Chain A
Amino acid sequence: MPLTGLEIYKLLPQTNCKECGFPTCLAFAMKLAAKQAELKACPYVSEESKAKLEAASAPPIRLVTLTGEGTQIEVGNETVLFRHEKTFFHRPGLFLRLRDTDAADELKRKAAEADAYHVDYVGINLGLDGFAVEAASGDPAKYAAAVAAVRSVSKKPLILIAGAPELAKAGLQSAAGTRPLLCSADVSNWESMAAVAKEAKVPLAVRAESLDSLAELTQQIAKAGVEDLVLDPAVGGYLSSLERLTAIRRLALKSAFRPLGYPTITFPGSGDGASETLLAAEHIAKYAGLIVLDTFDPAGLYPLLVLRQNIYTDPQKPIQVVPGLYEINAPDAKAPLLVTTNFSITYFAVSNEVEGSGWPAWLVVTDAEGMSVLTAWAAGKFDAERIAKAVKISGIKDKIGHQRVIIPGAVAVLSGELEEELQGWQIMVGPREAVDIAAYLKAMWAN
């Protein structure tokens, strides 16, 4: 748990020598607590205090990194229970489970399809983070071949689900050159699994049904020399997931309980009859670090990827685009001109629609402080004056041979005022929803 300024002060020399650049040790301690200064600025702090301060400043939930070939994912290092308290930092990894009981061709096909999957959401390219390859056959040679098959079509990070040391070693051999998560150690095999993980220098997942035994195991394994751990609390359905993952997060953050200060892994496909998609959604909102899906279905994956993006958006910074003039489909002097706001979701709703329609068009994006059309309008950030100003400074006048501008249907009320502000321009009221823009242009935009 982070120390308070006063607690830090007690560990400092308390001589007020000012060499750190602050008038007193206390002032320096306060800055340290606020993370606005670094300990090394004080040359006189004792080794003992240094160790204590460093231990206290280690993140309450360890950051664990998995790497593939030129790809990586970091999970953990979260600091809050509720996103509004600050933000959630490391989006949980979404992995697809594959089993070595599939024929090599089938495995490759499944992995290649899922590897290629990507979807655009407000200009961000989203996809799966990697594959969890399971040694379901129990045969090390088969397992090694399966991991190699997956690697032959994907460079993404891997999770090796191999519950016995020979299997783990076989998988690790095929995964050489990457840093997969080894999954998992439990009360029966932890010593041998820890030895394998330690030797290969890879993170290890630890599985137990109760949090008590989980905490005991992680302490033993940490002592055995494996530092990067991931907790598998063997969650079942919606309620047991919520209870266990919340308990782990609280113990880590509120009680600074190190044995459970690691990211978690969940398998929503084995959730006691729960819908895999809805259970994965719960895991995204409530505290999973890695989520292993059993099914690859774009219709379920797309909403999960978007949810993850939304929940992990920094509440202090709405996602916005740069205001200005945007060209869509190589517009010419006759192409229509539309205006919108610089809230990412709004901008992409409009630009995707226009782009998809094939219409060449000009789009003036006004600086509405990252707000949607109606929100900005209600907040006075998308009014006639601002729109007129944006149109004028965009330089669009020299690029088009007409003076017609289409405004969002939601702010039809602005058209009168806008006519005043943009003398000589014809203000056209577009449809309310971006989906209807193509039909609207077809009906209303006469060249």
Chain B
Amino acid sequence: MPLEIPKEKWAGKVREVTLGATKDQGGTRARTLTVGGEAALPFLHHEGALPHQTVLGLEVRDRKPDDWSPLLAKVWGEAISDPGAWAKAAEAAGADFIFLTLSPTQADGSPNTPANARQVVRKVLQGTGLPLAVIGTGQADLDNELLVAVAEEAKGERILMGTCEDKNYRTLVAAAMANDHLVQSKTPMDVNLSKQLVILIHDMGIPLERIIMDPTTGALGYGIEYGYSVMERLRLAALQGDSMTQQPILVTPGEECWKVKEAKVGEGVPGSWGDWERRSINWETTTAASLVHAGADLVVLRHPESLRLLRALVNDLARPAQAA
């Protein structure tokens, strides 16, 4: 009596979005990355096509960050002060794409400028052949200046630009449209807000094939369950055919985890927290792995060892199921 395992039949699927452009396509990237396209829940290959693997990015800063954990400073070494070298090191560590974040100030303390942002992006494009995401500082006015310059500098490269938020997306979307890029649509852990912002951004005329949504990640112990469930709900809605939830999902467990005490602090913490470095990497990877299971398409990490561990996970999960 062979068992009949209940299968779900889905009406919808996630859109495919391609990051990066090669020479033939008007860019300079050595390869492109296509994400999305899922017609089934995460890794249930027997229920529908899952054409693309979860992709892993490493975060690189435009300048040496002041507030990163010493563990990260140690592992990246000298490269941490030079975005081009850092991107190269991230590529060597096995990243699928580079997630470059801009800082409000330059290394000497002066405010960041469009000219500097251009130069940084140029360096990173030269340092690596990987597809690129460039994310702003989080300060709306400054980001509008910097990212317009970045969009022009990287014209044709099909970079992912962010962060589009409900209060600040018009300038960014316009710059992305004018220069053939993608945008990241970020909302605070809410299914309806995710949909709404995708609608607003799409209304400006940018095709849905160029929008990636970021539903906001909480770190393990600091609200991961909210993001996790919002992602599961978004993916279920996408499969049920709700068009505006059918964007691939990007998550940033690296950023979230490395700011919490468990990862940041090595001394004066309870002994039951265990070895600092292993704990930090476990924090980042258990957060990331949980989000992969909830439906993440693009995962941004900070530590190369985390990337290595996640690589084994996504490779195994991507393996098509053996015939039953």
Contacts and interface: CB of A to CB of B under 8 A. Distances in A.
A307 B224 contact: yes
Contacts of B290: 281, 285, 307, 311
A433 B274 contact: no
Contacts, number: 145
B43 interface: yes
A12 B317 CA distance: 49
B109 interface: no
Contacts of A313: 225
Interface string A253-264: 011010000000
Interface in A304-356: 304, 306-307, 310-311, 313, 315, 345, 349, 353, 356
Contact of A299 (B275, B293, B316, B321): B275
B79 interface: no
Contacts of B274: 297-302
A275 interface: yes
Nearest to B314: A238
Given A275-B312, A281-B286, A282-B289, A302 B279 contact: yes
A353 B312 CA distance: 36
The number of chain A residues touching the other chain, given as a range, is 35 or more
A349 B221 CA distance: 11
A302 B289 contact: no
B256 to A, nearest CB: 13
Contact of A302 (B3, B224, B273, B294): B273
Given A298-B273, A310-B221, A356-B268, A278 B289 contact: yes
Nearest to A314: B225
Nearest to B282: A303
Contact of B278 (A83, A250, A299): A299
B1 interface: yes
Contact of A274 (B44, B46, B268, B313): B313
A310 B43 contact: no
A274 B285 CA distance: 13
A121 to B, nearest CB: 7
Contacts of A251: 3, 5-6
A139 interface: no
A243 B278 contact: no
Interface string A143-186: 00000000000000000000000000000000000000000000
Interface in A67-102: 82-84
Contacts of B229: 82-84, 315
A299 B312 contact: no
Contacts of A242: 43-44, 293, 317
Interface stretch (A43-51, A54-62, A112-120, A194-202): A112-120
A307 B3 contact: no
A212 B282 CA distance: 36
A302 B272 contact: yes
Contacts of B273: 119, 298-299, 302
A311 B228 contact: yes
B137 to A, nearest CB: 15
Contacts of A297: 274-275, 278
A272 B315 CA distance: 13
> Which of A215, A243, A251, A434 has the most B CB atoms < 10 Å from its CB?
A243
Nearest to B46: A243
Interface string B1-39: 111111000000000000000000000000000000000
Contacts of B74: none
Interface in A420-443: 433-435
Contact of B286 (A215, A277, A315): A277
Interface in B270-324: 270-276, 278-279, 282-283, 285-286, 289-290, 293-294, 309, 312-313, 316-317, 319, 321
A239 B319 contact: yes
A422 B144 CA distance: 38
B72 interface: no
Nearest to A375: B188
A409 to B, nearest CB: 13
A243 B286 contact: no
Interface string B176-197: 0000000000001000000000
A211 interface: yes
Contacts of A433: 259
Nearest to A306: B221
Interface string A197-220: 000000000000001100100000
Given A243-B321, A282-B293, A306 B275 contact: no
28 contacts: A82-B229, A82-B233, A83-B228, A83-B232, A84-B233, A119-B272, A119-B273, A212-B3, A215-B3, A239-B316, A239-B319, A247-B5, A255-B6, A278-B286, A281-B286, A281-B289, A281-B290, A298-B272, A298-B273, A299-B273, A300-B279, A302-B272, A302-B279, A303-B221, A304-B286, A307-B220, A345-B221, A378-B188
Interface of A: 82-84, 117-121, 211-212, 215, 237-239, 242-243, 246-247, 250-251, 254-255, 257, 272-275, 277-278, 281-282, 285-286, 297-304, 306-307, 310-311, 313, 315, 345, 349, 353, 356, 372, 375, 378, 433-435
Nearest first, the 7 A-B pairs at minimum CB distance are A299-B274, A298-B274, A299-B278, A299-B279, A119-B272, A84-B229, A254-B6
Given A247-B5, A315-B225, A315-B229, 6 more contacts: A84-B229, A119-B270, A119-B273, A238-B317, A303-B282, A307-B224
